[in-house]
Structure formats: structure tokens, C-alpha cells
């Protein structure tokens, strides 16, 4: 397994990293590995089905037919 040494890491950044590692119950080295993994590894593609229902609260009380009619009228 490889070893990574970081020189000239700002103290403020290191303190934030320590605090984050403590919150996550990890060592600083484990937290660095976790953060690098999240950043570098490709994200799993999301399914369109996972979006179902998102934003619904913004449309409460809106009549869909009236909304479409207003939008179409605005085109002219």
C-alpha cells in the first residue's frame, strides 16, 4: 500500500480535518482517505425514478391545467 506525505498543510486546514475525523470517529489518515475516495471515485449514476415526488410541495394548491394555460398564453 502506498504512503502519502503532505508538506506545508496549513494549520487551520489540519485542525478542521482533525475535527471532522473526530466527528466521524475516524483517524485523520482514515478521514483523508475517505475524502479522497469520495472526490476521485466516479459517482454512481442516479436513476430518474429516484426523482419521483421531489418538488411536490412547491406545486401544492396549483391547478395544473390553469398553470399550463397561463404558460401557453404567455407565449403569444
Structural domain count of the chain: 1
Q: Mark the ranges of the chain whose per-residue pLDDT is less than 50.
A: none
Structural domain of 16: 8-42
The pLDDT of residue 41 is 84
**Would residue 69 count as lying in a domain?**
no
Q: Is residue 50 part of a domain?
A: no
Amino acid 59: pLDDT: 82
Closest CA to 18 of 29, 30, 9, 28: 28
Q: Residue 36 has what pLDDT?
A: 94
Task: Give the list of residues 6+ apart from residue 17 with CB closer than 8 angstroms, or none.
Answer: 28, 31, 32
Task: Indicate whether this model's pTM tops 0.75.
Answer: no
Amino acid at each position: 500500500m502506498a504512503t502519502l506525505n503532505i508538506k506545508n498543510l496549513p494549520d487551520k486546514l489540519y485542525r478542521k480535518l482533525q475535527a471532522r475525523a473526530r466527528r466521524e470517529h475516524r483517524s485523520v489518515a482514515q478521514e483523508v482517505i475517505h475524502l479522497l475516495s469520495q472526490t476521485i471515485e466516479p459517482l454512481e449514476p442516479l436513476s430518474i425514478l429516484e426523482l419521483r415526488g421531489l418538488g411536490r410541495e412547491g406545486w401544492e394548491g396549483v391547478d395544473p391545467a390553469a398553470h399550463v394555460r397561463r404558460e401557453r398564453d404567455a407565449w403569444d
